[in-house]
Amino acid sequence: MQVAFALYERFTALDAVGPYEVFNVIPGWEPVFIAERAGPVRTDFGHLALTADKALEEVPAPDILVVPGGVGSRDPGHAALVEWIRAAHETSTWTTSVCTGSLLLGAAGVLDGLRATSHWLYHDRLRELGAEPAPERVVRDGKVMTAAGVSAGIDMALELVALEAGPEVAQAAQLVIEYDPQPPFDAGSPTKAPQPIVELVTRMARQAGEL
Amino acid sequence: MQVAFALYERFTALDAVGPYEVFNVIPGWEPVFIAERAGPVRTDFGHLALTADKALEEVPAPDILVVPGGVGSRDPGHAALVEWIRAAHETSTWTTSVCTGSLLLGAAGVLDGLRATSHWLYHDRLRELGAEPAPERVVRDGKVMTAAGVSAGIDMALELVALEAGPEVAQAAQLVIEYDPQPPFDAGSPTKAPQPIVELVTRMARQAGEL
């Protein structure tokens, strides 16, 4: 099972690394990191680079494609990546995204008429791209699976492994990565965080030109 | 606030990227990835490389140090890294580890007589290194904070931000990364996973020479 992580400048590292760490421990599953050009690809604020080991055209037909989100997902100029997504989706077993990676799936026409999710700040954008925004943390519509913001990719990956390899394998993966989450606050969604925190984050995103 | 992530060959990506993604959104906090030599550093099974932007000696006194775990943490030959940890710990505000990164803290003498944690499979190893293994997911003893396996670094980072920058900032970070975990199973710790799954993972670790 070949799992391709499609990177681009200014992506969010955890969007890719969360699912990667789950898939990485499944026997026979082969993660591969790709981008328009092979080489290091910088994350959103430039403090980290992950290596794309291959160019997009070297991995034309992965079994699973994972498209991370990030500041860069809203940049123009993703023609090659969007075209790759469109073509890879035709033969994929699963087409997935994390966070605003769903905006790139949308740009590729993959989400037309489908229920899907994205980072909570970008549900309207998803609708503009032809999808029906859904409130769940992980949304499955046919072979397309989309996850909410950043950390939601871990939950998505476990669901996908359960469907593809069985619940025992998914549980073993969860135990290997000791995923027994105990956040010190219950502020991880706009319906749970205190309203002033939601307003603060929304205002900061707007000021940064992200909305 | 300079936050140094100390990488080495065969580390586990999520151990570093989980806390990085939390610290990355805190205004004024500067993540920097370092290793014995600057350049790409491969993760445990070789499928991914993260770039170390600087060599250890270029970042001698970070405010926060984060040591990830991974298969490589149990390899011999970490003399330079262990020496760097020992020296950096003398001036750090926080010295932290995720997963078996605590074995490297232990090798540096940082955990002598302290309560600490590690991946659940390695608590005995921790005791051999002079620490007192503790059952919590995130363990704080003075300025040393250790997290349990892999994904626990996210919880640790949120706790550290709350202590250092206040609970509102930590909640904002949690909301930005939409950390509202909803794993499809409750199998993320050996006390919660079905016993056959615990035995399977333990047996596989032993067969891989990891125990």
How do residues A76-88 score in pLDDT, each as one tens digit?
A: 889 999 999 999 9
Domain match, B176 and B192 both: no
Q: What is the mean pLDDT of residues B136-161?
A: 98
Nearest CA to B101 among B208, B4, B2, B8?
A: B8
Nearest CA to A102 among A136, A137, A58, A66?
A: A66
b/e string for A56-89 if b means 16 or more Cβ within 10 A?
beebeebbbbbbbbbbbbbeeebeebbebbeebb
Give pLDDT, residue B10: 97
Tell how strand A2-6 and strand B30-35 pair up.
Answer: unpaired
Domain match, B33 and B101 both: yes
Domain match, A189 and A167 both: no
- A208 has a pLDDT exceeding 90: no
If you search the block for the tokens 């580390």, which residue do you land on? B11
A136: CATH:
3.40.50.880
Report CA B6 to chain centroid distance, whole Å: 10
CB contacts, 8 Å: A170 with chain B = 184-185, 187
Domain match, A189 and A131 both: no
Sheet strands (E) in chain B: 2-6, 30-35, 39-42, 49-52, 54-55, 64-67, 94-98, 115-116, 132-133, 138-141, 144-147
Q: Which residues is B51 bridged to in the sheet?
A: B40
In degrees, rounded to 5, the angle at the alpha carbon of residue A138 between the alpha carbons of residues B178 and B197 is: 100
Average model confidence (pLDDT) for chain A? 97
CB pairs under 8 A between A and B: 224
Give pLDDT, residue B208: 86
Give pLDDT, residue B85: 98
Domain match, B133 and B149 both: yes
Q: What is the DSSP letter of A43?
A: B
Catalytic site residues of A? 99
Q: CB-based contact (8 Å) between A163 and chain B?
A: no
Asked if B154 and A151 come within 8 Å (Cβ–Cβ), the reply is: yes
What chain A residue is nearest to B184 in terms of C-alpha separation? A159
- Top pLDDT among A37 and A211 is at A37
Q: What is the mean pLDDT of residues A175-183?
A: 98
Give pLDDT, residue A210: 84
SS3 (DSSP) at A189? coil
CB contacts, 8 Å: B179 with chain A = 150-151, 181, 183, 188
Residue B164 CA: distances (Å) to CA of A183, B29, B63, B144 = 16, 11, 11, 13
Domain match, A175 and A193 both: no
Q: What is the mean pLDDT of residues B131-138?
A: 98
Asked if A154 and B183 come within 8 Å (Cβ–Cβ), the reply is: yes
Q: CB-based contact (8 Å) between B46 and chain A?
A: no
Q: What is the mean pLDDT of residues A17-37?
A: 97
Asked if B33 and A48 come within 8 Å (Cβ–Cβ), the reply is: yes
Summarize pLDDT for A117-157 with one digit per residue, the tens: 999 999 999 999 999 999 999 999 999 999 999 999 999 99
Give pLDDT, residue B96: 98
Q: CB-based contact (8 Å) between A113 and chain B?
A: no
Asked if B180 and A137 come within 8 Å (Cβ–Cβ), the reply is: yes
Q: Cα separation of A55 and A94, whole Å? A: 20
Kindly report the nearest CA distance between residue B40 and chain A, in angstroms.
Answer: 7
Give pLDDT, residue A181: 98
Nearest CA to A174 among A3, A61, A18, A63?
A: A18
CB contacts, 8 Å: B18 with chain A = 14, 17
Q: What is the DSSP letter of B177?
A: T
Domain match, B34 and B118 both: yes
Q: What is the mean pLDDT of residues B132-144?
A: 98
Catalytic site residues of B? 99
If you search the block for the tokens 């750090």, which residue do you land on? B92
Q: CB-based contact (8 Å) between B167 and chain A?
A: yes
Inter-residue contact B193 to A169 (CB < 8 Å): no
Asked if A181 and B181 come within 8 Å (Cβ–Cβ), the reply is: yes
Residues A95, A99, A101, A103: what is their CA dihedral angle, to the nearest 10 degrees? Answer: 110
Asked if A17 and B12 come within 8 Å (Cβ–Cβ), the reply is: no
Q: Cα separation of A198 and A193, whole Å? A: 6
Domain match, A163 and A128 both: yes
CB contacts, 8 Å: A174 with chain B = 183, 185, 187-188, 193
What chain B residue is nearest to A199 in terms of C-alpha separation? B172
Domain match, B187 and B163 both: no
* Cα-trace Rg, chain B: 16
Which amino acid does the sequence have at B69? G
Kindly report the nearest CA distance between residue A83 and chain B, in angstroms.
Answer: 24
Indicate the number of domains in chain B: 2
* Domain span holding position A208: 183-211
Give pLDDT, residue A17: 98
Q: Which of A171, A189, A201 sits opposite B197 (nearest CB)?
A: A171
What chain A residue is nearest to B70 in terms of C-alpha separation? A177
Tell how strand B30-35 and strand B64-67 pair up.
Answer: unpaired
Asked if B184 and A170 come within 8 Å (Cβ–Cβ), the reply is: yes
Nearest CA to A8 among A60, A75, A61?
A: A75
Domain match, B55 and B87 both: yes
Tell how strand B94-98 and strand B144-147 pair up.
Answer: parallel
How many residues belong to chain A? 211
Q: Token pair of B68, please?
A: 């990830």
Domain match, B97 and B131 both: yes
Domain match, A42 and A53 both: yes
